[in-house]
């Protein structure tokens, strides 16, 4: 789980740059940091980078709260960012070093979780939508009905990712709620009924299913955009839909930890990933958008044109950030979720 | 320092590790189960019995006045226990002939057969489980083969069924049943079996009244070794069962992860521990009773 991976150390030898430039310890999601980009960073700055993986926001937060972690940079999801800031775990960006905040696309600059980007910069962002094998069903796919009221052709062939927050958000939007943390119990009643009614037509609630979609074992489901793109590249029949009633948008954000030991190096790294060329390397590796203006021209063509990555204009407004819910609402959601999976 | 003092000193490192590595975390879990949930995980230091209450009871989310048994939790607990019992049973049925086969080989060959049985332990559980998934999925090896032979026209849905979970669980835990059974059979005095035949006992009578009572301790040890880890099994039911229904392990994981209610997760972990300790105590009782008893 917590595999340590030292990247790019070997390259230093050839460049003649001293390792005296110091080091940088990044705490990030697994398989999420482009090794080529890290190599480039080390080449340009002489800073040696060590990456440690985490597997969930909860793990990351719990570990940093304990202190004594030795990390400089962390990459939390938007819904957790405010909690990180409130607990004083992050330090404000040093605009002397982080000079290129202007490269962030305007729509990702003024975000609720970090207005004006005082603490964080975009790492990768994506959406949770539906994926459909169009050889089985050729109707409208921009709807949550794909998994809530599946058409006959798809019933029994549906996979729903076991991400409570994403599934709840889509269901809340589908029954007319405006926030995934709503305290309107009538909405939750409808959400529960919809989900309970839909579940018998689901085949599985599983994560790692790109191959199963490509092979046709699974006909449709709730899925992430990047993974859907990878599945489509293996099977042209697969298409990604954005429910018009609303779908979750997420963004992971890089930030410098308050007790970082290499603050200056960390700030240098933050500014480094704000460069379009470098941000594009992240996207080419992780297969999600990055929120940096002008990065498209450095991205692989299959990505900069992918309908999974570039949201069609008329569907963009339906995408919403899901906030973290207060505990009493979280308990309601967990209770419905438990009932659903009992 | 007398002789006794030295013996204690020798066991000190083991005791130290046990206290630190077992009791320490356990105490923390116990304490956490009586606290209130913190924001986005963690705990806040306010005493509360809410977590324990919610393990067993649920307030209707739409009408908090109405308190009922938490049927969702109880269903999930029972599913875990039932699956573990079934797994134990299947392992016992498959394990007995396997162990018998090994125990009746020549001493030289026995080592080889035992070695074969331990081979699965060499590979990570997750990888083995994914290998099973590859075998039984719709476009997997077995279905492709059957369709190629013309035995079936449409693939059989095996993955994501209870059948798949049982196959996976039995596969994972079978060696834990075979090894103690083998140990018991290894000590079995085969002259008693021969004596049974000499007295004109049928094969069935020898099995029931001679062999089974003698290898009973092996059955009990094997059942405990299989039942206890099976009840907390997490990976196998999730991957092969498709995750549509939770096991106790998943339910506990949910509270520490997406549910962000650590005290509830801690209370459930303690309950799991209580179930396991209960099973162990039953084991001890059966073993102690069985000591002098011989039938037939």
SS3 A170: helix
Q: How many whole angstroms separate alpha carbon A304 and alpha carbon A229?
A: 12
Q: How many whole angstroms separate alpha carbon A290 and alpha carbon A303?
A: 12
**CATH code of residue B219:** 1.10.3720.10
Q: Answer yes or no: do B261 and A327 touch at CB < 8 A.
A: yes
In this predicted structure, the answer to whether residue A27 has a pLDDT above a threshold of 60 is: yes
Residue B202 in any domain: the answer is yes
Which of A155, A338, A339, A340 is the best mutation test for B, with the most CBs of B within 10 A?
A: A338
In this predicted structure, the answer to whether residue A256 has a pLDDT above a threshold of 80 is: yes
What percentage of residues in chain A have a pLDDT greater than 90? 82
Residue A135, pLDDT score: 96
Strand partners, B167: none
Give chain B's domain count. Answer: 1
Least confident of A135-144, B19-28, B86-95, B178-187: B19-28
In angstroms, the separation between the Cα of residue B244 and the nearest Cα of chain A is 5
Partner residue facing B261 (CB), from A189, A212, A331: A331
Residues spanned by the domain of B190: 70-290
Q: How many whole angstroms separate alpha carbon B58 and alpha carbon B66?
A: 8
Residue B35 · residue B251 · CB < 8 Å = no
Partner residue facing B259 (CB), from A163, A217, A330: A330
Calculate the average pLDDT of chain A. Answer: 91
Using CB atoms within 10 Å of the CB of residue A288, give its burial: 0 to 12 exposed, 13 to 18 middle, 19+ buried: buried
Residue B19 in any domain: the answer is no
Residue A15, pLDDT score: 41
At B48, the pLDDT band (50, 70, 90 cuts) reads very high
Q: Answer yes or no: do A342 and B258 touch at CB < 8 A.
A: no
DSSP A62: H
Tell me the per-residue pLDDT of A287-296, one tens digit each, with 9 for 90 and over. 999 999 999 9
- This complex has an ipTM of 0.81
Q: Answer yes or no: do B246 and A339 touch at CB < 8 A.
A: no
The answer for B 97-136 residues in CB contact with A (under 8 A) is none
Across A208-228, average pLDDT:
89
Closest residue, chain B, to A63 (C-alpha): B42
Partner residue facing A204 (CB), from B37, B243, B257: B243
Tell me the per-residue pLDDT of A100-156, one tens digit each, with 9 for 90 and over. 999 999 989 999 999 999 999 999 999 999 999 999 999 999 999 999 999 999 999
SS3 A232: helix
Q: Answer yes or no: do B254 and A324 touch at CB < 8 A.
A: no
Q: Identify the CA nearest to A41 among candidates A66, A73, A65, A68.
A: A73
In this predicted structure, the answer to whether residue A175 has a pLDDT above a threshold of 70 is: yes
Residue A17, pLDDT score: 42
The 10 Å Cβ neighbour count of residue A314 is 10
Tell me the per-residue pLDDT of A43-73, one tens digit each, with 9 for 90 and over. 999 999 999 999 889 889 999 999 889 999 9
Residue B185, pLDDT score: 92
Q: How many whole angstroms separate alpha carbon A298 and alpha carbon A279?
A: 9
What are the DSSP calls for chain B, one per residue?
--HHHHHHHHHHHHHHHHIIIIIHHHHHHHHHTTSEE-TTSSEES----HHHHHHHEEEETTEEEEEEE-HHHHHHHHHHHHHHHHHHHHHHHHHHHHHHHHHTS-HHHHHHHHHHHHGGGGS-HHHHHHHHHHHHSTTSHHHHHHHHHTS-SS----TTSHHHHHHHHHHHHHHHHHHHHHHHHHT--HHHHHHHHHTT--HHHHIIIIIHHHHHHHHHHHHHHHHHHHHT--HHHHHHHTTSS--HHHHHHHHHTTT--HHHHHHHHHHHHHHHHHHHHHHHHHHHHHTS----
Residue B61 in any domain: the answer is no
Partner residue facing A342 (CB), from B137, B138, B245: B245
In this predicted structure, the answer to whether residue B63 has a pLDDT above a threshold of 90 is: no
Which chain B positions have a beta carbon within 8 Å of A80's beta carbon?
Answer: 40
Q: Answer yes or no: do A341 and B244 touch at CB < 8 A.
A: yes
| Selected residue with higher pLDDT from A49 and B130 | A49
What are the DSSP calls for A298-322, one per residue?
GS-HHHHT-TTTS--HHHHTTEEEP
The answer for B 179-208 residues in CB contact with A (under 8 A) is none
Q: Answer yes or no: do B243 and A206 touch at CB < 8 A.
A: yes
In this predicted structure, the answer to whether residue A21 has a pLDDT above a threshold of 80 is: no
CA angle A52, A55, A58 (to 5 degrees): 110
Partner residue facing A327 (CB), from B37, B73, B139: B37
At B137, the pLDDT band (50, 70, 90 cuts) reads confident
Residue A50 · residue A6 · CB < 8 Å = yes
Q: How many whole angstroms separate alpha carbon A148 and alpha carbon A144?
A: 6
Residue A51 · residue A26 · CB < 8 Å = yes
Q: Identify the CA nearest to B160 among candidates A151, A212, A338.
A: A212
Residue B273 in any domain: the answer is yes
Residue B155 · residue B142 · CB < 8 Å = no
Residue A278 · residue A121 · CB < 8 Å = no
Q: How many whole angstroms separate alpha carbon A128 and alpha carbon A224?
A: 4
Residue B15 in any domain: the answer is no
Residue A102, pLDDT score: 96
Residue B122, pLDDT score: 84
- Token readout for B62 is 């739409």
Q: How many whole angstroms separate alpha carbon A251 and alpha carbon A316?
A: 15
Across B210-220, average pLDDT:
89
In this predicted structure, the answer to whether residue A1 has a pLDDT above a threshold of 70 is: no
Closest residue, chain B, to A163 (C-alpha): B258
Which chain A positions have a beta carbon within 8 Å of B159's beta carbon?
Answer: 217
Q: Answer yes or no: do A83 and B62 touch at CB < 8 A.
A: no
In angstroms, the separation between the Cα of residue B251 and the nearest Cα of chain A is 8
Closest residue, chain B, to A79 (C-alpha): B40
Residue A265, pLDDT score: 96
What backbone phi and psi angles, to 5 degrees, belong to A111? -105, 150
In angstroms, the separation between the Cα of residue A330 and the nearest Cα of chain B is 7
Q: Identify the CA nearest to B247 among candidates B69, B81, B53, B133.
A: B81
Which chain A positions have a beta carbon within 8 Å of B250's beta carbon?
Answer: 341
- Token readout for A104 is 């962030």
Residues 6+ positions from A196 with CB-CB distance below 8 Å: A339, A340
Partner residue facing B76 (CB), from A204, A331, A342: A342
In this predicted structure, the answer to whether residue B281 has a pLDDT above a threshold of 80 is: yes
Q: Answer yes or no: do A217 and B139 touch at CB < 8 A.
A: yes
Residue B22, pLDDT score: 85
Domains of chain A: 4-125+251-304 (3.40.190.10), 126-248+312-340 (3.40.190.10)
Strand partners, A312: none
Tell me the per-residue pLDDT of B141-185, one tens digit each, with 9 for 90 and over. 999 999 999 888 888 888 888 889 999 999 999 999 999 999 999
User: A317-327 as b/e, with b when 16 or more CB fall inside 10 Å?
Assistant: ebbbbbbbbeb
Residue A10, pLDDT score: 38
Residue B232 · residue B271 · CB < 8 Å = no
Q: How many whole angstroms separate alpha carbon A168 and alpha carbon B41?
A: 19
Which of B126, B159, B243 is the best mutation test for A, with the most CBs of A within 10 A?
A: B243
Strand partners, A321: A249
Residue B17 in any domain: the answer is no
Closest residue, chain A, to B252 (C-alpha): A338
DSSP A323: P
β-pairing verdict for A238-241 and A120-133 = antiparallel
What percentage of residues in chain A have a pLDDT greater than 70? 94
Q: Answer yes or no: do A204 and B160 touch at CB < 8 A.
A: yes
Residues 6+ positions from B219 with CB-CB distance below 8 Å: B92, B96, B181, B184, B212
| Selected residue with higher pLDDT from B284 and A224 | A224
At B294, the pLDDT band (50, 70, 90 cuts) reads very low
- Token readout for B12 is 């000190």
Residue B136 in any domain: the answer is yes
Residues 6+ positions from B287 with CB-CB distance below 8 Å: B217, B220
Which chain B positions have a beta carbon within 8 Å of A204's beta carbon?
Answer: 160, 242-244
Q: How many whole angstroms separate alpha carbon B245 and alpha carbon B76?
A: 8
Residue B252 in any domain: the answer is yes
């Amino acid at each position: 789980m917590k595999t340590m991976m030292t990247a790019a150390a070997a390259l230093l030898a050839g460049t003649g740059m001293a390792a005296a430039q110091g080091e940088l310890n990044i705490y990030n999601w697994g398989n999420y940091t482009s090794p080529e980009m890290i190599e480039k960073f080390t080449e340009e700055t002489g800073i040696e980078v060590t990456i440690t993986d985490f597997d969930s926001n909860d793990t990351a937060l719990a570990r940093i709260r304990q202190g004594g972690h030795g990390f400089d940079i962390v990459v939390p999801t938007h819904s957790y960012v405010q909690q990180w800031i409130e607990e004083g775990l992050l330090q404000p960006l040093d605009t002397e070093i982080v000079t290129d905040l202007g490269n962030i696309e305007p729509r990702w600059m003024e975000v609720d979780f970090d207005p004006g980007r005082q603490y964080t910069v975009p790492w990768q962002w994506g959406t949770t939508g539906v994926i459909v094998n169009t050889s089985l069903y050729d109707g409208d796919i921009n709807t949550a009905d794909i998994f809530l009221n599946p058409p006959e052709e798809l019933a029994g062939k549906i996979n729903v990712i076991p991400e409570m927050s994403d599934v709840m958000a889509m269901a809340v939007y589908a029954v007319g709620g405006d926030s995934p943390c709503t305290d309107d119990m009538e909405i939750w009643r409808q959400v529960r009924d919809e989900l309970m009614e839909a579940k018998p037509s689901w085949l599985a609630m599983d994560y790692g299913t790109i191959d199963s979609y490509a092979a046709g074992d699974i006909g449709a489901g709730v899925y992430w955009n990047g993974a859907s793109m990878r599945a489509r590249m293996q099977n042209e029949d697969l298409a990604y839909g954005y429910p018009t009633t609303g779908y979750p948008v997420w963004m992971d954000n890089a930030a410098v930890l308050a007790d970082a030991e290499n603050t200056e190096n960390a700030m240098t790294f933050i500014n480094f990933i704000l460069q379009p060329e470098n941000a594009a390397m992240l996207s080419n590796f992780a297969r999600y958008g990055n929120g940096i203006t002008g990065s498209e021209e450095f991205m692989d063509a299959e990505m900069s044109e992918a309908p999974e990555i570039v949201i069609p204009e008329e569907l963009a407004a339906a995408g919403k950030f899901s906030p973290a819910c207060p505990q009493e609402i979280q308990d309601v959601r967990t209770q419905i979720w438990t009932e659903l999976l009992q | 320092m007398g002789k006794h003092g030295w013996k204690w000193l020798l066991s000190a490192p083991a005791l130290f590790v046990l206290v630190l590595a077992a009791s320490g975390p356990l105490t923390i879990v116990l304490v956490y189960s009586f606290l209130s949930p913190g924001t986005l995980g963690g705990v806040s230091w306010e005493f509360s019995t809410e977590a324990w209450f919610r393990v067993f009871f649920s307030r209707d989310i739409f009408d908090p006045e109405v308190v009922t048994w938490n049927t969702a939790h109880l269903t999930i607990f029972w599913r875990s226990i039932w699956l573990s019992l079934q797994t134990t049973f299947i392992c016992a049925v498959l394990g007995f002939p396997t162990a018998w086969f090994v125990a009746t080989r020549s001493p030289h060959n026995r080592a080889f057969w035992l070695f074969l049985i331990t081979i699965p332990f060499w590979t990570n559980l997750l990888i083995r489980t994914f290998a099973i998934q590859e075998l039984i999925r719709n476009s997997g090896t077995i279905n492709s083969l059957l369709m190629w032979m013309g035995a079936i026209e449409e693939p059989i849905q095996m993955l994501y069924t209870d059948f798949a979970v049982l196959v996976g669980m039995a596969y994972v835990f079978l060696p834990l049943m075979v090894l103690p059974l083998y140990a018991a059979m290894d000590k079995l005095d085969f002259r008693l079996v021969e004596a049974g035949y000499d007295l004109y006992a049928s094969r069935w009578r020898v099995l029931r009244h001679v062999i089974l009572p003698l290898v009973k301790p092996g059955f009990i040890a094997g059942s405990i070794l299989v039942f206890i880890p099976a009840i907390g099994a997490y990976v196998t039911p999730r991957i092969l069962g498709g995750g549509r229904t939770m096991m106790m392990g998943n339910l506990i994981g949910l509270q520490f992860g997406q549910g962000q209610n650590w005290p509830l997760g801690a209370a459930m972990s303690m309950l799991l521990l209580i179930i396991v300790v209960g099973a162990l105590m039953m084991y001890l009782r059966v073993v102690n009773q069985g000591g002098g008893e011989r039938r037939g």
